[in-house]
Amino acid sequence: MNTRTLGNGLEVSPLGLGCMGMTGVYGAATDKAQMIKLIHDAHDRGVTFFDTAEAYGPFTNEELVGEALQPIRDQVVIATKFGFDIDLETGARRGGTDSRPERIKAVAEAALKRLKTDRIDLFYQHRVDRAVPIEDVAGAVKDLIAEGKVKHFGLSEAGVQTIRRAHAVQPVTAVQSEYSLFWRGPEADLLPALEELGIGFVPFSPLGAGFLTGRITQDTTFEDGDFRNLVPRFSPDARKANLALVDVIKGVADRKGATTAQVALAWLLARKPWIVPIPGTTKLHRLEENLGAASLELTASDLAEIDAETSKIEVQGERLPEAVLKMTGH
């Protein structure tokens, strides 16, 4: 695969690998040895960008990613995140956010150990902490960069003004937020601001938490522990209405000899050259399918058709549970 450049010259593969689901979230955690092999398989196929977080597990996802990538550490870019109130000893979630500078530095030290590395390539604030000025957050990461423990600063689910304030203290390399044909909220204000500031964009849930693959129907049941059971847009009625979106993508996919997932990812890649989606999977054949999007070219006519047809569809249901939406602020 070719490469793409996020902010501040950070070069990565055009598609990264979101590792969150390897230790739960979409149901039970998957076998560790299989996931280590899948991470190696991804790298063998050209993926150099791997996404994890302190909160995934907590801790177990970073440990998995660290163990998997240790043999090829200098060939990859590892992104992880801080910002939730988690007991650093036990991993117990205490609820809410915590981005106090001393906390950020303690999380970095702990993450370095779990990731079996001497530096974090991209360190995101996972959620904005309204109790801590973003300038203080950016200053703490700036200190870590000066010490060589962190290479790049990122923000997740942050608004434009927050991004501008942070960027003035420590240049932001990437912003991570949800973005797909299932959720196009970033287009109004966020993407123009990122282009202006020279910041890369890393869409998570680029396949709408699996919905845009076309393999989820009105009748699909999610196993216990799958967070989609709590998401309004995954209620049976919402799914029934939202399948119209999948039909549009499938029409283009059939014509291109591709899958709906590949078209959905190729659509994102076509938006801007500094967009790097991070689809997650626990299956090799899905990984290979997703990576096929990097070589799928959508013409101007294809893109116009997708925009015209999807603009007629109003997606039903909020993208996150109400309590989580309040935390993100948008």
**pTM recorded for the entire structure:** 0.96
Range of the domain at 8: 4-328
**In contact, 144 and 105? CB cutoff 8 Å:** yes
| Among 322, 313, 319, residue whose Cα is nearest residue 233 | 319
Residue 328 pLDDT:
65
CATH number at residue 144: 3.20.20.100
Cα separation, 38 vs 68, whole angstroms: 9
Counting Cβ atoms within 10 Å, is residue 156 exposed (0-12), middle (13-18) or buried (19+)? buried
Q: Which residue has the higher pLDDT, 176 or 28?
A: 176
Instruction: Pick the catalytic residue from 26, 56, 124, 179.
Output: 56
Residues in the chain: 330
Residue 56: active-site member: yes
Alpha helices in 15-100 (DSSP H): 32-44, 60-69
Q: How much is the average pLDDT of 149-164?
A: 98
Cα(281)–Cα(17) distance, rounded to whole angstroms?
8
Number of domains in the chain: 1
- Quick one: pLDDT band at residue 329, thresholds 50, 70, 90? low
* Residue at 267: amino acid letter: W
Task: Return the H-helix or E-strand segment holding 197.
Answer: helix 190-197
- Residues 66 and 92 sit within 8 Å (Cβ to Cβ): no
- Return the beta strands (E) in 157-276 as ranges: 172-178, 200-204
The pLDDT of 129-157, averaged and rounded, is 98
